[in-house]
C-alpha cells in the first residue's frame, strides 16, 4: 500500500503507514482522503508546484479538479527505494 505524507516540504511516499506523523503533516492513502484533508488552497498550490514535471500554476482555480490532478500526479511518483540494513 502506498501512503503519502504531506508535509511542509512536499509529498513523501512511504511503503507502509507510519506509526505517527509529525505535527503539521497529513497521511493520505486515497483520493478521497486527499479531498477530505484540511489543506488550504495555498498549500495545495505549493504541493502541486513542488512536483517534478508539472506545469506550474499561479492560481488554484477549481479546488476539486486541482486535488484530482494532484492525486494523479503523486500516484505517478516512483516507489521509494527499500531500506537496507547496513
Q: Which of 38, 37, 33, 31 is nearest to 70 (CA)?
A: 31
pTM: 0.80
List the domain boundaries for the chain: 3-75
Q: Exposed, middle or buried: residue 60 (CB in 10 Å: 0-12, 13-18, 19+)?
A: middle
Distances (CA, A) of 43 to 1, 25, 36, 56, 78: 25, 12, 14, 14, 22
Residues paired with residue 13 on neighbouring β-strands, in sequence order = 4
Q: How many residues does the chain have?
A: 86
Q: What is the pLDDT tens value at each position of the chain, 86 positions in all?
A: 788 888 877 888 877 766 677 788 888 899 999 999 999 999 999 999 988 888 999 998 899 999 999 999 999 888 766 666 55
Amino acid at each position: 500500500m502506498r501512503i503519502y505524507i504531506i508535509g511542509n516540504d512536499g509529498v513523501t511516499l512511504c511503503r507502509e503507514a507510519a506509526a505517527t506523523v509529525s505535527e503539521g503533516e497529513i497521511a493520505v492513502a486515497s483520493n478521497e482522503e486527499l479531498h477530505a484533508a484540511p489543506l488550504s488552497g495555498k498549500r495545495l498550490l505549493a504541493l502541486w508546484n513542488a512536483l517534478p514535471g508539472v506545469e506550474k500554476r499561479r492560481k488554484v482555480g477549481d479546488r476539486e479538479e486541482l486535488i484530482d490532478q494532484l492525486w494523479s500526479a503523486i500516484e505517478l511518483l516512483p516507489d521509494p527505494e527499500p531500506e537496507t540494513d547496513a
